[in-house]
Structure 1
Amino acid sequence: MIGKFFRRSSDKPESHSSQKSPGSEKREKNPSAEGANKSADTRSGDGGKTGNRRRSNQRRRGGNNGGSGTAPAPKKPQQPWSLDQFQVPEAEGKVRFHDLNLPLELMHAIADLGFQYASPIQGQSLPHTLNGHDLVGKAQTGTGKTAAFLITVIDDLLKHPFEGERYAGEARSLIIAPTRELVMQIADDAKGLCKYTDLEIHTLVGGMDYQKQQKALNERFVDILVATPGRLLDFVSNRDCFLDQTEILVIDEADRMLDMGFIPQVRRIVRQTPRKTHRQTMFFSATFTPEVDDLVEQWTLDPTIVEIQPERVATDSVTQHVYLVSGDEKYPLLFNILKQEDVESLIVFANRRDQCRRLHENLQAHGINAGLLSGEVAQNKRVRTLDDFKSGKSRVLVATDVAGRGIHIDGISHVVNYTLPEEPEDYVHRIGRTGRAGKSGTSISFACEDDAMRLEPIEKLLGSKLTCQVPPEELLEQPPKVHVKRSSGGDRDNRGGNRGGGRRGGGGRSRR
């Protein structure tokens, strides 16, 4: 099925004119958008009924101070701006954002971000999604899919203002992502694209103060809601967030959510939204299994299918090394790599949270300012850790695959796979953190007796052999002996952290 294009209705033109698109007709037919005179039970989603909902205690608002329900005045650029200030020549085989009839406020933000031509997934998907079609996109991280669905969402919200009364916690668009970091990254990208609009963006993630997120929902409209499944369900169950007015639903990284066991939660969320005939749905996944195909069938209506295959699975800008070591040699090797002059900033990936915790403790004991990203770290601390890494305050980040999923930072010089990942696709994702924005990068993988078996599936995915070598003797010198203070669940040793990964560095199932 993937790779073929088909349209919701063959008799509807793919026009970018100002006439109403198929998507706008679909939303006009949505009972939830026809005003307050409709009974509550006619606004139910896929199987969910809202007749007994108690929203009388929800404050109606018109701006940040409460009021009559009138929307706040749009933000205006400080200086007049026109498309004449954003000249982009036509280029054969490329789609300009100028050609898509986007609102001026959105084009202004696109110009500020330096976007000129759409990426392949943007160029192939936007002509369909801007006209209201559902979309199924197969694309890897880094292909521009986030901007593809955000531009669609923003364009729709600006061109189809909400009519009628609005209540606290009602989301007009919903984006679901599997990890907190990815949610924060999507929200940051949305803020950049909404720079010249009055659209309100909210995030709901676990590990952060519930009351603060609740207060934000009560004080500002919810135009774009980005959330992880578990925390979103908390808010829905507590009747602090309502999804029956959702006009656009985006499900990002569906394969990752399937792997992490989130699909039952996502099913419950989708049932709270309007029926698929009354919402626009965009569905993204890097891989398509029978389980993912089944979800596509359930949640989308005659979608356009776009498949973007990267020219190479692994970028040419990343130099890849594999060092054959024992488990006891891993930490000394990492310590000595960090001493090299060309290591400007480095992310080290391990499969399990306890491995990451021990590595972080060892590095801190040796005076290396390192940050830790894993599922056991509180969200507010994770945000500070990422900010410190982005600003250069720390140059080393220790992360699990799940915690590092949303890291998009230019200028990372090195990536170290302290343990080889269990899924070959995660290897590609890891090394893709370096060699970005036209710069070169280096990936170094440690393969001990326990995880060397994972090399073959990785090589099969890459389509080429990885050169394995024994590290030079100088990279295996023992680090200074220090006292390592272990947190609960760890132990104490004073042998320089040489047991940072242990002999079982790659064994067992991943615990994130």
Structure 2
Amino acid sequence: MLKALKKMFGRGEAEPLATAPAPAASAQPSAPAATAATEAPPRAIAPSPAPVPAKAERPRRERTPRAAKPTPPTWKPEDFAVEPQEGKTRFHDFALGNELMQAIHALGFPYCTPIQAQVLGHTLRGKDAIGRAQTGTGKTAAFLISIIKQLLQTPAPKERYMGEPRALIIAPTRELVVQIAKDAEALTRFAPLNVMTFVGGMDFDKQLKALERRYCDILVATPGRLLDFHQRGEVHLDMVEVLVLDEADRMLDMGFIPQVRQIIRQTPPKSERQTLLFSATFTEDVMNLARQWTVEPAVVEIEPEHVASETVEQHVYAVAGADKYKLLYNLVNDNGWERVMVFANRKDEVRRVEERLVRDGVNAAQLSGDVPQHKRIKTLEAFREGKVRVLVATDVAGRGIHIDGISHVINFTLPEDPDDYVHRIGRTGRAGSSGVSISFAGEDDAYQLPAIETLLGRKIACEMPPDELLRPVEKKRQAV
């Protein structure tokens, strides 16, 4: 079988991957005019409809003015000096206000990425928008900045329920929701806005108590858990001013659209809210959803120069399925890698690989739909802090994970969807740093390579692993 694979792919050195959009500081925007600044008022929000019966159980509370989050008195707008550069759009080119600009300054983002420059040029004027861009291009910050500007510019109603968010962001996976909320917290650190997260797999009562302690301004949620809160009368969506649907194509694939439709029916009509929809692909199904839920949206498409990042060195090993684990263990152990992400297609594969690594002394953990959400969050933090060396995940669990310093991504099994291949290897080589991707092509999944090559627009050299990397794993090793 190995001879057949060798004959099929041939020997050769792996070629570097193609180029993805550069990081924010060096991206070249499709120059939106600075006239896209935000002089025009935001879209007027019509009066909320009469409360539904469920609301009668909980009286409205008069809004108590909240003190702004502490702002160091020494910071001044002049401290955030960014020189204009041809072909680049500064955040200064939009009238964002001091609270937002200080947060952007603290995050170290002087120039907009292309998706940010183009989206903000429309959304800050109150327009709906649909955007297509790869992961890692800054689209999350694009819609968060627009939301925060809208909420700061338009005062909250004097009377509102604690569970009446003014902005709602729906995302398909728990990890992506947590990541978006983390970015929102960073961008609102100097603004009097509260960010809340509702995801399944975590203690419902704990999330409910958080909702009862303070007003919810920006709510980030998965569809199922949001419906749980709404059906219990704890969350009301009639005051939503801005609605964001992130990774619409993934929500279609995962069968979430019926739930999303139920949610959207509870928000104000599309003419009375601003709707932003983002997707990695613009399929006909995605465009149909956009037509149903938006009003004359601006369409922003950021075409990557290449599908995959040039900062990722790519390798493919032709290896028998029975030898994959030995190859994985010896690669990690012999090279002393400290932060590795391993992808497998199925939850049972993820579990078996993680269990074998732990049994053989490797500090590993797993992420899949079978792992409770509170444990998944702890696992991600441990991986981020370097307490876990190898993180084994499925595509759904791994989507939206942005952790700096992942040196290697290993495809234990090649994905069935070529787009997932690009998302996987994009976990390394981020923010201009270099990374390595290694894929195992066995008898059960080597046939996926042609479709991946078609997406990448190039052939991938396939290698035979050195014999020393296929040696049996010694039992009862000490932790490595």
With structure 1 as the length reference, what TM-score do the two structures score?
0.85
| 1:446 corresponds to 2:440 | yes
- Residue of 151, 162, 167 corresponding to 1:168: 162
Q: Following the alignment from structure 2 to structure 1, what is the Cα–Cα distance between the partners of residues 416 and 276? A: 29
Partner residue, 2:244:
250
- What amino acid is the match of 1:451? D
- Residue of 178, 181, 185 corresponding to 1:184: 178
Q: Following the alignment from structure 1 to structure 2, what is the Cα–Cα distance between the partners of residues 406 and 143? A: 12
Q: Following the alignment from structure 2 to structure 1, what is the Cα–Cα distance between the partners of residues 97 and 369? A: 39
Cα distance change, pair 260–17 in 1 and its aligned pair in 2 (3 A): closer
Partner residue, 2:314:
320
SS of residue in 1 equivalent to 2:387: coil
Q: Following the alignment from structure 1 to structure 2, what is the Cα–Cα distance between the partners of residues 15 and 374? A: 42
| 1:382 corresponds to 2:414 | no
Q: Kindly indicate which of the two structures has a greater share of residues assigned to helix.
A: 2
How does 1:80-479 map onto structure 2 within 5 Å?
Answer: 80-341=74-335, 343-479=337-473
Partner residue, 1:44:
none
SS of residue in 2 equivalent to 1:131: coil
Question: CA shift at 1:17, angstroms?
Answer: 5.3
Could you list the structure 1 runs, at least 4 aligned residues long, displaced by more than 4 angstroms after superposition: none
Q: Following the alignment from structure 2 to structure 1, what is the Cα–Cα distance between the partners of residues 171 and 155? A: 25
Question: CA shift at 1:53, angstroms?
Answer: 3.0
Would the aligned equivalents of 2:343 and 2:395 in 1 still touch at CA under 8 Å? yes
Any unmatched runs of 5+ in structure 2? 1-29
- What amino acid is the match of 1:175? I
Q: Following the alignment from structure 1 to structure 2, what is the Cα–Cα distance between the partners of residues 176 and 443? A: 31
Q: How many residues align?
A: 445
Per-residue deviation, residues 295-318 of structure 1 (Å, max 9, x unmatched): 010000000000011111011111
Would the aligned equivalents of 2:36 and 2:122 in 1 still touch at CA under 8 Å? no
Alignment RMSD (CA, Å): 1.6
Q: Following the alignment from structure 2 to structure 1, what is the Cα–Cα distance between the partners of residues 59 and 165? A: 14
Per-residue deviation, residues 122-169 of structure 1 (Å, max 9, x unmatched): 011101100100000011100100000000000000000112301121
Partner residue, 2:17:
none
Would the aligned equivalents of 2:350 and 2:393 in 1 still touch at CA under 8 Å? yes
- What amino acid is the match of 1:224? I
Cα distance change, pair 73–337 in 1 and its aligned pair in 2 (3 A): same
Question: CA shift at 1:444, angstroms?
Answer: 0.5
Q: Following the alignment from structure 1 to structure 2, what is the Cα–Cα distance between the partners of residues 149 and 103? A: 16
- What amino acid is the match of 1:338? V
SS of residue in 2 equivalent to 1:340: helix
Partner residue, 2:64:
70
With structure 2 as the length reference, what TM-score do the two structures score?
0.90
Q: Following the alignment from structure 2 to structure 1, what is the Cα–Cα distance between the partners of residues 120 and 72? A: 29
Q: Which gives a bigger RCO, structure 1 or 2 (Cα 8 Å, sep 6+)? A: 2
Question: CA shift at 1:15, angstroms?
Answer: 5.4
Q: Following the alignment from structure 1 to structure 2, what is the Cα–Cα distance between the partners of residues 14 and 219? A: 41
Question: CA shift at 1:58, angstroms?
Answer: 4.8
Q: Following the alignment from structure 2 to structure 1, what is the Cα–Cα distance between the partners of residues 117 and 320? A: 47
Partner residue, 2:8:
none
Per-residue deviation, residues 460-510 of structure 1 (Å, max 9, x unmatched): 000000111111101101102369xxxxxxxxxxxxxxxxxxxxxxxxxxx
Partner residue, 1:505:
none
Per-residue deviation, residues 89-120 of structure 1 (Å, max 9, x unmatched): 00011110011000101000000000000000
Cα distance change, pair 15–294 in 1 and its aligned pair in 2 (3 A): closer
- What amino acid is the match of 1:16? A
Question: CA shift at 1:78, angstroms?
Answer: 2.6
Per-residue deviation, residues 362-391 of structure 1 (Å, max 9, x unmatched): 011011111111000011101110000000
- What amino acid is the match of 2:469? L
Question: CA shift at 1:31, angstroms?
Answer: 1.8
- Residue of 24, 37, 51 corresponding to 1:16: 37
Cα distance change, pair 297–416 in 1 and its aligned pair in 2 (3 A): same
